[in-house]
Every structure is written in structure tokens, then in C-alpha cells.
Structure 1
Amino acid sequence: MAPKRSQASPTASDPENEPSSSLVERLRVIGEDLGSSLRGVLDGLPGGPHRPGRLAQTLGVNRATASKVLTAASKRDPLEVLHQSPGPEPLRRLAASAHDRGVGVDATSALTAAADAFDLAIREEAGTRPALDALITSELPGARERFELASKYAVFKGLSQLKGVQADLWLGVAVLSPAADDPQRIDLTWLNGAVAMRRMRPGVTVRFAYRHLRDGVPGGGDDMAASEWPGGGVLPLDRFCENPPARLEARRVDDTIQYTLPDDVLGPKRAVDMFVVDHHPAAMSRTAADPERRRNSLFVEPAIPSAALLFDVLVHDEVFPGVDPRLFLFDTGYDGIADVNDRSRDADRVDLAERVEFLGTDLRRFTSPDLPRYGALLEHLADRFGWSAERYRGFRTRIQYPVHGWQVCQSFERPLA
């Protein structure tokens, strides 16, 4: 696989949501005092170096509190101290317990004062401890990623139970190729799918839809087998499945094809895979006529709760040469699918620590640990559509526990016509 380079265009931060420098400095002072006072109390206790179990017994606190105290005391970054520390009340109890066990009053009083300052910062600056942690993590990249991952996992777990379905992976691959008959247009081919899709409880309808135009005319509403879709929305991809292929039931509704998972797919051990291909000749313009609408929008919105999202954009070297995509994330809960050119939707943009990664060139060399047969699948599509594999460069966004209902976009800026 070709060497990777990071795409330095994460979802843009909103300055209005970032903590002010004066607040950060106040928190650093509080964290510095707290870390110093914790180390002072621990130094005053016999039996060091301390371990969580023994410290919990010595001070009469639970093991979780003891572990947090030791972790916080070991940090040198004051914000990390605050982030890792137990709450103000456990700190006060720890100071009182340490005083009862002979630790000097100067050390225990310093810890109590630091806990009081910590408490005041929580109440006046954030309102709650989780809110303060969220504020702190914006200054600590490692902490921010852990915080976001835990939050996204909680959403994934809850929605999987509520919706009664989940998948290990949601796949979206967009391939951009020069249109054969129009030098100003671009062919767009989508490979979408789900790996290890499971229905978790009976009576749940699992449905997802993809827009499909045939000769620019919307379809009707007839029931049909997926393999019978005119124009070939589905290719025979069963051999690339790790689990049994899903036998999807398909229905045309206006300009979309809707897929439904049969009712017999039930239970955590009844996992199936699904791949769907849509090919749209001359679907996109190479240039923009309006300087206010220069960006195109290639996006994925996982249809079911998924443990991971793999979103790749593969671009022919004649398409947007020298231009890398920019990543946008939108919460679509209020106004639906967002147009990246619509500045009124900036309020719906989500600031997460996600990035676009450059995969190199030649789609035959692109791999993924999530899909052992991914390379072979891309080669199969290249043969089917006549792509010159070596002329494609790739860009990837992989998100662990993507939030269901959020739109993930990779967008290229087009030259003006």
C-alpha cells in the first residue's frame, strides 16, 4: 500500500465554541494547584509508591477514586490533572481521611482549597462536571478523542437497542471518472454496503434507500427483485462477502430504490453482508458556474447504527487535479441533508476530531483491515466499468461509532466555468 499522508483539513472548529484563553489559563492554575496538593498528600502517606488497592484501603475510599487520584497526580499538564481527577467532593473526603491518618495540615488544607477552587470552576464556568470535561478536552487532543469515542459509543449502543439493528461496518465508496461523451462532466459510481448487519429483536423493519435515476426519469412503485433493477443497480458481489449475503427485498419509490432486510435475519449470530452499486454516467459537472457554489458534495449517512464507517473517495487523475477534499460533518436532524455551499447550514456543522487520509495512487493497492477482500472488490469494479486502476488516487475518512443521522461529506472545490 502506498505511504499515507494526513489531510490537514479536519472539520473546522467554531471559534465561538472554543474556550477563551483567559478561562484556559484559570483552569491551568487550578489544575496546577490540584496536582501539587495531590502529590503533597500522597508524599505524606507511608507505604509509597502507592497502588490503587492499597491506597483505597489506607484512606477508606473506593478503588476507582484511588485510581483516579494516582492518575491525576502523575500528570504534569494541569488540564490533564483536572480531566483525570475525581470530583471535588471525593477530593475533600480524601483530604479529611488523609488528615485523620497523620498527613500534615498544610498538605490536607491545600488539597481542600484546590478541591473548592475546582468545584467553583465547575459551577461557574461550565455548570456540570461533564460540561467542564468537554471544555477541557478541546485543549487536549488525546483526551478529546477519548471523550468523543466514549460519547459516540454510548449513542451507538443506545440506538442499536432502540432501532433493533446494527452493523459492524457501514461502507461508502465514491468513484469519480471522466465522462466518456462529455469532457465537462464526471461519472459517479457509488459502492455502498453494510458488513455483519444484524437484526437485534423481532418485529423491526430494517430498510435503507438509494437514489437511482434511469434516463433521468423517476421510477414507479412496483415490487421487484433487486437483481431485476433495470440498468444494473446491483452487481453480483456475493463472493466478496465475509458473512452470508443479504437477500434484500427491493421496491422502487419515485427516484429511489428501497431495500428491506427479510424478517428471517434475526439475532446477534445471524449476521449478513450487503453491497449495492449505483453507476451514474455524467452525473456531476467538473466546473462551477456560480462562485458561491463552487463545492460539490459527496456524502455518506449510515442508514443503521454501525460500529465503524469507512468512507473512501477515489478520483481519476483528470478529475479535480491537484485538489484534495475537505471534510464536513453535519447534524441533519433539523433541516435534513445539507448542501456544503449553503452558509445557513454552518450552524449544523459538527466539530469532531475526524480527518481525511490520503491513500496514495492506484486503487489496486488500497486495502482496509475492516474488509479483507476490499482490494479485490475494487479491482472487480474497475474491470466492470473499464477504469484504469493506476490513474486513481484515494482519500479516506474512517470514523469509529459514527453518529446515526449525521452527514459525513468529502467535498472538492471546483474551478469556475
Structure 2
Amino acid sequence: MNAPLTSDGMAVAPSLADRLGPVAAGLRLSLAGLVQCLAGEPARPIRLMRAAGLDKSLASRLVQATRAESDAEFLHRVPSPTGLRMLLDASAGQVPDELRATVATAVDAFQSLLDQFPGGRLALDAHLGATQIDVRERREHMARQASFKAMTFLFGHYCDTVSTAVFVLPSASGDAVDFVEVHRRIGLHRVTPGTSLPLLSLYTELPALASGPRLTSLEGEAVSAGPGHFFLADPGDSPLPAMCIEQEAETTTFVLSGDDPTPTPERITTAFRVAEIVPCDLQAPALPLSLRTYMLHTPCQRLVRDVFIAEALWPLLRPQVAFFLPGPSGMPMRAATAGQRHYRELPLSARIEALPEGADAWTLPGVPDHQQTLLDALQRAGLGAQRFRAWRCEMAYPVPLVEMQIALGAPSGPVGTANPVEATAG
């Protein structure tokens, strides 16, 4: 059996890992008794604040730790030894000396454990998260929030909601699929004046080549027709911002100019169509089948990825999501491998779920015009009568500069969990 690993890949000595349980149990039992003496039963943060003179944050963490349902959850929630010693100092004269001595011994054991653990408290949480999903998700959420704040400052812009809807349908050639994509920025903010805002990038073949994916507007105009053909009008009379299209080898990027004196619109919707983007067998493709890889380059509070697959296309398959450290610049998407984790793959928490049948599949909470925007885009693409099966992946504070891959695979649960929805719904 391999030794557990910390977040940076360092092995945790088995003897050290074995100490987690006894240290947690001893500290948990003694701390619960101390908090109960000071704050009563059931303990309340406000009582602990009054009895021990602690601030609200520390008092709340102490009470939450004593309510933990497992030793692992307790270790994740309990304050640092410094915070625990502040409680001990404040309890002098209010609780029996024997209890204080027991707690002090348990705190020293906790401190010793952290001192020996490679990476300290951060490594301890990473170790706990390897087997405790709830611990990992809480710690990951905190890390993603911190990343959002840092990247907003560094990038000079952020967005409240980034939404992408990708519609997958058979190509006319019969040996590939086409995409129609609608990208939305809701609550777009440029915090550093003069910052250029990249909206989206797509890896395609060089325009001079006849083969390979072909990027056009919804109506079929080429990129050379100008960026205005790739905007969808949003409510309001705000003028469209100045957008340019950057062509770098096989990558096409849509960018809002930093020199444009026009105020940054609060919402921007762009849409396009790509023909022959994924060569594949339309009847029985090799699985998993990589459909789309996105570079998460916009700091945002909410990310929504909707996947709509034509009703008759691959009825027994469903989309899956995975996250990767970025590969070399200009590198096309990596082919997915069943049951094998790639060395660049990140274990980020995300779920993709089937959307309900009917008009609800086209709505997005907090964005009233979302359904109509998607329907208008399909009408412009000549797909108003097409029926789709729909899924959604939604996550808070996605980590920028990470690749998000959408692939198709066999369902792990019952087949047919996604219901067909009509483009004419609602």
C-alpha cells in the first residue's frame, strides 16, 4: 500500500498518518468539555464571546469544531493552536485546572503533529481531503475564492457570470460534428483602465487550408467579414463595444480593445458556428470522445457550461467534465483516456447534470433573457426546429488558467436521464 501524499506530492510517513486519529480524538473530547463549561449546552458563539472575550470569528470556529460529526471534519474546522491557546488563556479561573491542563496537553500534541506534517495545516487539509469529500469541497471553495480575488487584480477584469451553451449536431459530411456556441458575459467589469478583454478563443486549422474546422458566424459569414457578425444584441440601447479578432497560427481569439472609449457593457453575448470540428463516428464513436476544451481565462463568480446534443446523436452517451493544467501553447485538446488519470488532470469538484424537459432547460437563474437569447441564436443558425438533450455544469469561482474539458462517455447510471428539449420551447 502506498503512503498518503500531501498536496505537493510529498509522502506522509505512515506513523504520522496513524497519529491523526488519536490526536483528533483527544483534542476533540477535551475541547468540547472546555467549550461546554464556558458556553453552556448547547454551546453558542455569543456565549463564548462573552465568557472568554473572544472575537466572533474565533468563537464561531470553536463552536463549529465541537459540532463536527467526525474526527476528520473536526481537524478541518478546529482553529490553529494559537487560537486554541487564546481560549485557554481566557478560561483561566472559569474552569477546573485539570480540564485546562488536559486541553493544553491536547493542543501541544496538535501543534507537534502540524510541525511534523510536511506543509503544515495546508498539507493536513489536503491529506484529509483525499478521503473526505466534504472537507475537500470546503477547502477547495476557499481556495477558489482566493484565486478569484487575486486573478481579478492581476488580470484587471472580472465577470459575475460566464455562460456558454454549446450545441452539438451532425456535420453534413457524415463523419464529424458541428458546433454552435453562444458565449455570455453577465456583469462584466473592467477594474483596470485600458485592459484588453479576451472573450473567447478557438483552436482551428489555418484559414488557408481547405480541410479542418471552419469558423463562421451563425449565418455562415467568414471571420474576415468582421467581428460585428459575431455579436448578439442584448437588451438596452448601449452601443456595441469595439471588438477585434486576433489570428495566431491555428487560434482565433475575440478581444475587446482596451483603447475603446466606449464604457464596458454590463453584458456581452457572442455566438459562432464551427463546421467539422470533431471528426468521429456518428454511430459508435471511440470513447471517451473529447468534444471541447476551454481555457478558463476570465475570473468570475459563477461559471455555467450547457451542453445540448442533437436528439438523434449518440442517444446512449452523456457528457463528462474534467480539468487540466494547461499544455504547451497552441496544443490541441488532449484525447481522453478511459479510467486513466492524466498527469495534468486536477481533481476539482464539478458536476454535470441532465436538464429537465421543456422550457426549463433553456433558463438560467438570475438571467431573465437567457432562454430567449439561446432560441434567437438557433433561429439565426437555421436550427429552430432541432431537438436536443441537455446537460449543465455550474460551479462557483472557477480557477483561471485551467483547461476545462468536455468529453462524451457511457453513462454511469441509468441510460436516458436527459430528456429531449425543443429549440422552439417556451
Q: TM-score, normalised by structure 1?
A: 0.79
Give the letter aligned to residue 198 of structure 2: R
Farther off after superposition, 361-370 or 108-117: 361-370
1:247 partnered with 2:242: yes
1:173 partnered with 2:173: no
1:101 partnered with 2:63: no
1:17-416 equivalent positions in 2, closer than 5 A: 26-45=19-38, 51-98=44-91, 100-179=92-171, 181-208=172-199, 209-211=201-203, 216-217=209-210, 229-230=223-224, 234-235=229-230, 237-239=232-234, 245-263=240-258, 270-287=264-281, 295-332=289-326, 338-341=333-336, 346-361=342-357, 365-387=361-383, 391-413=387-409
Equivalent pairs, count: 390
Give the letter aligned to residue 36 of structure 1: L
Structure 2 SS opposite 1:94: helix
Give the letter aligned to residue 325 of structure 1: P
CA distance in 2, matches of 1:356, 1:242: 35
CA distance in 1, matches of 2:77, 2:86: 17
Distance 1:22 1:312, change over 3 A: farther
Q: Gapped runs of 5+ residues in structure 2? A: 214-220, 411-426
CA distance in 1, matches of 2:174, 2:42: 71
Structure 2 SS opposite 1:297: strand
Structure 2 SS opposite 1:92: helix
Q: Which has the higher contact order (CA 8 A, sep 6+)?
A: 1
CA distance in 2, matches of 1:242, 1:25: 65
Distance 1:32 1:390, change over 3 A: farther
Farther off after superposition, 144-153 or 42-51: 42-51
- Tell me the equivalent position of 1:8: none
CA distance in 2, matches of 1:320, 1:64: 52
CA distance in 2, matches of 1:256, 1:101: 70
Distance 1:148 1:249, change over 3 A: same
Structure 1 SS opposite 2:364: coil
How much does 1:332 deviate? 0.6
Partner deviation per Cα, 1:130-186 (whole Å, 9 max, x = no partner):
22123324444334323212211111111111121112222222211122x333332
Structure 1 SS opposite 2:128: helix
Partner deviation per Cα, 1:248-299 (whole Å, 9 max, x = no partner):
23344554443332346689x8443222222122332332999987522312
Q: Gapped runs of 5+ residues in structure 1? A: 1-14, 220-226
CA distance in 2, matches of 1:365, 1:292: 28
CA distance in 1, matches of 2:223, 2:285: 38
Q: Work out whether residues 242 and 273 of structure 1, in 8 Å CA contact, stay in contact via their aligned partners in 2.
A: no
Q: Work out whether residues 326 and 410 of structure 1, in 8 Å CA contact, stay in contact via their aligned partners in 2.
A: yes
